A and B are shown apart, each in its own frame.
Chain A
């Protein structure tokens, strides 16, 4: 089974700072998801990527398949970005092939 490590576990930053959250995995994958979990518990899918880079607003996700590593960047961070960010990898093998990281708890202070 794939091992997924996220860093840092906790991150507190000031509004406007550039944020980077990292995700490493141990086995080759078919896709990687970045998810955002709000304080109330609901989860929203931010990105699904299998190569290269994707951008949506102030969020950028990159993946390096050779190095088995992905990063999520937030530019011009804002207090509303405060949430838990979760990396999940799909190793193929069907619907049960997802492995989740433990999440990165991000707090953006005004």
Chain B
């Protein structure tokens, strides 16, 4: 079945370490997104990509990095520069139908990162 796979589901990190969260989709979607979810807040956009080898910063990109070497894959690295990385991270994808239209969103199951 088509969908989005995130891994790992749970991750623990020591302060000062970089960690990479995986996101893979087999939906043939052009657009992929990374969101961060904190208790009591709406999802906030970290990075997004509309095409291979191109990505843009979202609202809270500081301390994060991404790559888009393949259409199917959009990994997120949480660097040691991210001051408060403990959060729930969600990857999503959609058909990018153009700037004035929105495609249906597909989400992964999320990755919960805890900094020890």
Contact = CB atoms under 8 A, between A and B. Distances in A.
The reply to whether chain A is a binding partner of chain B is yes
Interface of A: 4, 30-31, 33, 35, 40-45, 48, 86, 88, 90, 92-103
Interface residues of B, number: 32
B113 interface: no
Interface in B9-62: 31, 33, 35, 40-45, 48, 50, 56, 58-59
B99 interface: yes
A96 B104 contact: no
Contact of B48 (A44, A95, A99, A100): A95
B107 A42 contact: yes
Interface of B: 31, 33, 35, 40-45, 48, 50, 56, 58-59, 88, 90, 92, 94, 96, 99-110, 112
Given A31-B101, A48-B102, A94-B99, A4 B108 contact: no
A30 B101 CA distance: 6
Nearest to A102: B42
Contact of A31 (B50, B92, B96, B102): B102
A110 B100 CA distance: 43
Contact of A45 (B40, B41, B105, B112): B105
Nearest to B39: A102
A45 B107 CA distance: 8
A41 B88 contact: yes
Given A4-B42, A86-B42, A86-B43, A98 B102 contact: yes
A43 B107 contact: yes
B41 A102 contact: yes
Given A30-B100, A41-B88, A95 B33 contact: yes
B102 A43 contact: no
Nearest to B106: A45
B104 A30 contact: no
A53 B99 CA distance: 24
B101 A100 contact: no
Contact of A96 (B56, B94, B106): B56
